[in-house]
Structures are given as structure tokens and as C-alpha cells.
Chains A and B, each alone.
Chain A
Amino acid sequence: MSRGSENTDDEPPKWMSFRSLLVFSMFLRVFLIVYGEWQDAHMEVRYTDVDYIVFSDAASLMASGESPYKRTTYRYSPLLALLLTPHSFFHRSFGKFLFSASDLLVGWFIHTILKERKVPEKICTYSVMVWLFNPFTFTIGTRGNCEPLVCAMILWIIISLMQGKLAQAAFWYGLVVHFRVYPIIYALPIILVLDSQVFRSDQKPPLEDWNTGQTKTPTSNTEKKTILFNLLTALKSLFSRERIMFALISGGVFLACNAVSFYFYGHEFLHEALLYHLTRTDPRHNFSIYFYHIYLHYERQFSAVEKLISFLPQFTVQFALVSCFWQDLVFCIFLQTVAFVAFNKVITAQYFVWFYCLLPLILPWSRMKLKWEGLLCIILWIGAQTHWLLWGYMLEFKGLNVFLQLWAASLLFLAANTFVLVKIIQRHRFSPLFRRYESSSQKHVKKLH
């Protein structure tokens, strides 16, 4: 954390140095964990998330040699239960400390990534604060939710790619897909970005840093090429050494983890940890626009055609985003995650962490000012959520039939998500993650048509 000898306007004040932010965040989280234990013991409403109790029970079962899937609603990899087995001999809040530590690690990784891309210290610090001081972020880890672990793994994969460590990136990618299925949506942009023009073996790939493109002369990227030329270029390099290696290692790690889990826990593991997430259609109310549609049709099963049709908007959006933004990898996966959550059949608040951890990584490249466009986006998004929560409260805690209003609120939430996504796209300063070695023949890696 090198600091200049004089405090210029570009440098944040000393108390706001990254190290002091991290230390303060650490104390805040420790305090919240301790407070959480107190609240659980003395108040009727628990601070700890229900999921944490599920993990703990599953970990105890595993520690005593039984299957963690004996615990109903445990729908995660056995790795998670394994990580939490120290519950039995340490304190039961061991897991919360582990998740909060991952949370702090995410902050560290954000700082690392931004520094690698030569983002000025002040902007870097503000971006890190967006993660460390987001109330949702520090409550999620201290309440015992495991999402910070996933976020840390994703960011580590980005760092590994930036450092040219393909095998490392592939290993962690296979592991994170085993852990939580959703990162599979990042497979296509990662594969596309593993261009042999960029990834020479044993060399760190050149990064496009923050300073280039500030002067707004990105005309070199817009050379016109025919569709055929681009298609042939892509097909020619589709099976490059780097891409095959990445696919094999990550695929191998994913299959190995599943094989070991299946060996120990059989069909219960397959059903609860994998298939459940792929086929989940929960009719109970949640932020998704599909919940009421699913509830109204629950008495009869959906046909294969209906399932396919409902998947089309999601698929189209993912494909469009990858096609247009894969070069700016971090921005691409951020957009993909927001869209994936917004169009999913089930949306719970914990899914938001998946893109909260990526938001600080794209902010330095956004031309959006906090006043008033940024604030408008924040207010609209939070406002739509709050509106939904009000109707949800009426349904669940007052027992009123407000299904229609709740469903309308979820449509509004989708509209807010779409608006924010469109605004972010419009205000983003497109900046590829990697710089190409040669500037003469501008080969565009063709997206898959």
C-alpha cells in the first residue's frame, strides 16, 4: 500500500488508506458476529441466517460420518460441509468467521485487480468501499451465508487470468462451478478471451489499463471486416491450445469433484446439489416475474416446449451480452450476472452478492456520475425491491391475497433491473481486459453466430 509523500487531490486522505479500510471492515464484521450470537440467544428474531443452521447441521452430520444430505434443505456441495466441520471442535460461529474472512479477501482482490490495471488510488479506494461498506455485504457474511466464498473464487479466477496462470484459473473455475452451478455462464466469455494472440505461454498477458482510452480514441477497434472473414478467423482459432487446456482442466476438476461426491453420497448428492438447482421451480413468492405463473400452473406440469420458451429470453440476453462485450471480460461477466439473476425462475436476495462483488471492478470505467444518474439508478433499483417487499409483507405477515399486486411488483423490479443494466451499458467506457500483441493485422475474434 505505497503512498505518496505528499497528499495530492488524487490521493485519498490517510485515514482512508486501503489498509485502514480493511482493518476497520474487519472490526466491523467481528462486532457483528459477536452481536449476532447475542441476538440469537436473547431475542426471538434470529440474526443468523436459516441457511447457516442448515450448513452447521450438515457439517455435524458429516463429522460424525453420516451424509450431510440427511439434513433437509441442504443443497450444496459436500465441500461446504467439509469446510465447516471445525464447528464440532471450535465454536459454532467458525463458519461466520470463515465467510467474513472471504468477504474481506474479496475486498483485497478488488484492490489488487484495480491496481493491476493502474486505476488511480482514489478511485480504487472508493471502489473498494462500495464492496466493504455495502450493508448487504457485511451482513451476508456475518449472518452465515456462504456467497462470499464464491465471490472470492470468481475474483481469484480473474486475477489468475490477468497473471497468465491458465491452469490455476481453470482449476478454480472447475471448482467454483461444482460449488455453485451459476458460474457456468462465464464459460463462453472466458474461452473467447483466451486468445492465442494474447496468451503466450509463460508470459504475463499485457493488460489494457485504465489510462488508455481515457482520451477517447478507440477508433482502431472499429475496422470493418466482412462477416465471413471474422467467422473464419474465429473458427480457425477456436481450438487453440490455451482454450483446450482451460476446458480440459476445468472440466476435469468439475467431474472429479462430482465423482468423489457421488462416490461418498450417491444419488442424494446428485439430486440435492446439482439437479435441484437446474430444475428448480419454486412457486413460493420471490422477486422473479415467473413465480405467480409457476404457482398458477403448478397443478399440472409444464411441457418441454413451455420450459424451452421460458428459457429463451434468458438465453438471448446472455448470448447478446457475451457477443458484444466478451473482450471487456469483467464488464461482460458483470452484465451476464445481473441479467442471469433478473431473468431467473427464482430470485432470492442472496443472489445479488454475485454481482455486488463485480460492481467495484467496473465502476472506474463508468462515465455515470453519482449525481444524478447514479443516484437515480440506485433509488429505482432499491425502490422497486422495497415496493415488492411491502406487498410480500402483506401476503406473508398479514395474510391478504395480494398475489396479483406482488406479481406486478416483480414486473416493476424486472423493469428497474433492465433500466439500470441499459444505463450501465450506455455509460460504460469499453475497455478490453487484454491488449493484443500486434497492432498491424487487426484480427477480431469472431463471436459464434
Chain B
Amino acid sequence: MASQRRRSLLTLIFICCAISSASSDQVRTSYGDSDQIRSLCISDRFIMESYFTTSHTSLDDSEFRNFLLLQQCSSEHDPTSIVPATSLIQHRNVTGEGSHRNLLTSIKLLPFYSESKLHELVILERLPLGVFADPFELQSLQQRRVFSDVSVFGDTNLELPSFRSNRSVVEIHVEVSPSDYENGEISLKLPLHARYQPLDDSGYSRVEFGEPDLFLCSSHEQRRCLVLSIGRSKTETRSVFWDIPAGIRGHTEYVSALTFAAAVLSAISILVASVLSSKVESCKNSKQS
């Protein structure tokens, strides 16, 4: 009992320090609108499982928050009403080159939470329009125990360009053990692929990543999830982006013209060669006509 009180006190002190050093580059916290949503009670395996089936179409911040509001626990079931919702995203960037890159995120959990019975960290990556995650690739990562569970919801068409597709969201579940609290960081590497971008005169299209939404959940059937942070589509402090090559509108006319010219030229060459080489009389007639 005494140790618990001591722990709560330490946590409060820690939080005060965190607030006071909020301008530091190392620490990122998400407050604001997430104050109102503290915890969720869901019956599905995945938080996003019912999102697209309950007449939600986009993954905008406002629509997403409305969805979460509906999943809120009623107050008597809420065990964590006095706990401040805080998490720390230490580091976030996109690594790699080309059309296939990785979104790296490292998250620090507060030691306070190790006392709770919530052992699963759930990360929701609401992906921007220009990129997608391959569900089959993620499944093989799950088989290799990189994540304990993972699923993609929304537009999972791998082939359409971005202006013909909708956003998707990746829900990742990671088991957290006491050692994760001690060691400090949980690192996530999410493989992503670029879609074909809308045309741009600069030759590149910038895709910006917001912050992920973080929850700490229980592992039972009726899951209780503590809302750690609800990210925003665009961050104020950190800029994580990916410049993807895009077609240049100015090329359109001469590319089309030269393409057809090349096709016609090749067709004529083959036609002439066939006619000249053929020994059949009817082909010689067609050359005259």
C-alpha cells in the first residue's frame, strides 16, 4: 500500500517534470482533445474492426475521435479515471530508399503502467493517402513473432494509385513485459510501400505522417483499453515525411505523341518487312493497296 502511494507520487513528479520540459526535442506528448476519452471497452479483437462497417468512411481526426467516443467505457467500469493519459514517442522517422520503406517509431512507457493488468500495447497507424501496408507481408511478420497481432483496415488494394484509393489504418499489437518498462523503449518498424502519386510539376509528391494513436489494453475477451494518446494527422513539432516520385504534368503532350509515333513506326517496319519477305501473292497485292 505504501509502495503504491510512493509510486503514484513519483509518477506525479515525473509528469510535472515532463510538462515543464515539453519544449525539449526528445520528449513528445499528446494532450488536448484526448483528455475527454480515457478508456475504451471493446468486444472485438481489434479496435478498428468495426470502424468501416459502422458507416465511417474517412480516417480524419474528427471522425476517428467520434468513433472512439462511442467505444468509451461507462464510468463505473472505468478503472483508470484518475490516471493521466500520457505517453512518450521518443523517435519517429521513415527509413530506407525508394518505394519500399519503413516507418520507425520508438515509444517509452511510464513505469507506472507496469502495475496495471494491461499487457498489450496497441498502436494505430492511420496511414496517409499516398502509402499502403501489405497485409500479407505483415502476416509473415506476425508469424515471425515481430508483432503479437497485426491487421490492416480500410483500402487494402495494392495496385491502385493514390488518387483512386482511400486511406488505410494498420493496427499493431505488441506484448509489453516488465522488462520493457525497465529497458525504456519499444521499437516498431512498419514496412510501407508507395502508391503511384498524383501528378506534380516538381516531380515529387510529399506524403506526411502524423502521430500514431496509442492504447494500452488488456488481453481478455472483453478488452479494456487505456487511451495513452490520440495522435494528430499533422504534428506541430515534428515533421515526418516521404517524398515519392510523381509524374510531371508538363510531359503529357510529348510523351503521348512520341509513344504513338513509336508504335506507328514499329508497326510500319514490321508491316513492310512482312510484305517484302512473304512469298504469298496476296501480300504483294496488299502492299499496292
Contact = CB atoms under 8 A, between A and B. Distances in A.
A398 B262 contact: no
A445 to B, nearest CB: 9
Nearest to A296: B252
Interface residues of A, number: 66
Contacts of B279: 218, 221-222, 430
Interface in A292-347: 292-293, 295-299, 309-310, 312-314, 316-317, 320-321, 323-325, 327, 335, 339, 342-343
A253 B76 CA distance: 68
Contacts of A395: 98-99, 245
Contacts of B199: 296, 299
A73 interface: yes
B25 interface: no
A73 B159 contact: yes
A339 B198 contact: no
A425 interface: yes
A302 B244 CA distance: 25
A299 B280 CA distance: 47
Interface string B249-268: 10110011011101110110
A312 B264 CA distance: 9
B277 interface: yes
A119 interface: no
A403 B205 CA distance: 14
A408 B271 CA distance: 23
A179 B91 CA distance: 51
Interface in A225-275: 225, 227, 230
Contacts of B286: 320, 323, 447, 449
Best-surrounded residue of B198, B243, B246, B279 (most CB of chain A within 10 A) = B279
Given A299-B199, A313-B267, A414-B263, A397 B249 contact: no
Given A299-B163, A411-B258, A449-B286, A399 B274 contact: no
B281 A430 contact: no
Interface in A272-301: 282-284, 289-290, 292-293, 295-299
Contact of A404 (B97, B243, B251, B259): B251
A428 interface: yes
Contact of A401 (B204, B259, B267): B204
Contact of B277 (A73, A225, A426): A426
Best-surrounded residue of B251, B269, B282, B285 (most CB of chain A within 10 A) = B282
B271 A316 contact: yes
Interface in A360-413: 395-404, 407, 411
Nearest to A223: B281
Contacts of B264: 313
A155 to B, nearest CB: 24
Contacts of A139: none
A224 interface: yes
Contact of B274 (A321, A414, A449): A321
Interface stretch (A99-107, A201-209, A415-423): A415-423
Nearest to A292: B255
Contacts of A425: 270, 273-274, 277
B22 interface: no
A2 B30 CA distance: 82
Given A223-B281, A317-B271, A399-B97, A295 B196 contact: yes
Best-surrounded residue of B198, B243, B274, B285 (most CB of chain A within 10 A) = B274
Given A295-B247, A316-B267, A323-B282, A72 B158 contact: yes
A444 interface: yes
Contacts of A187: none
Contacts of A29: none
A321 B283 CA distance: 10
Nearest to B193: A396
Interface in B159-197: 159, 161, 163-164, 196
Nearest to B96: A399
Contacts of B259: 289-290, 292-293, 407, 411
B275 interface: yes
B158 A73 contact: yes
Interface in A71-88: 72-73
Contacts of B245: 395, 399-403
A446 interface: yes
Contacts of A283: 161, 196
B255 A324 contact: no
Contacts of A316: 267, 271
A225 B99 CA distance: 60
Best-surrounded residue of B260, B278, B289 (most CB of chain A within 10 A) = B278
A310 B264 CA distance: 10
A53 interface: yes
Interface in B55-99: 97-99
B262 A414 contact: yes
B248 interface: yes
B246 A401 contact: yes
B157 A407 contact: no
B11 interface: no
Contacts of B218: none
A324 to B, nearest CB: 4
A421 B269 CA distance: 10
A404 B279 CA distance: 41
Contacts of A290: 259
B203 A320 contact: no
Given A323-B286, A342-B266, A403 B248 contact: yes
B256 A293 contact: yes
16 contacts: A283-B161, A284-B159, A295-B247, A299-B163, A313-B264, A320-B270, A320-B271, A323-B286, A396-B99, A396-B100, A400-B245, A404-B255, A411-B259, A418-B266, A447-B283, A447-B286
Given A324-B283, A414-B263, 18 more contacts: A296-B251, A316-B267, A320-B270, A320-B275, A323-B286, A324-B278, A324-B280, A339-B270, A343-B267, A396-B99, A397-B98, A399-B98, A404-B251, A415-B262, A415-B266, A421-B273, A444-B280, A446-B282
Interface of A: 53, 72-73, 218, 221-225, 227, 230, 282-284, 289-290, 292-293, 295-299, 309-310, 312-314, 316-317, 320-321, 323-325, 327, 335, 339, 342-343, 395-404, 407, 411, 414-415, 417-418, 421-422, 425-426, 428, 430, 444, 446-447, 449
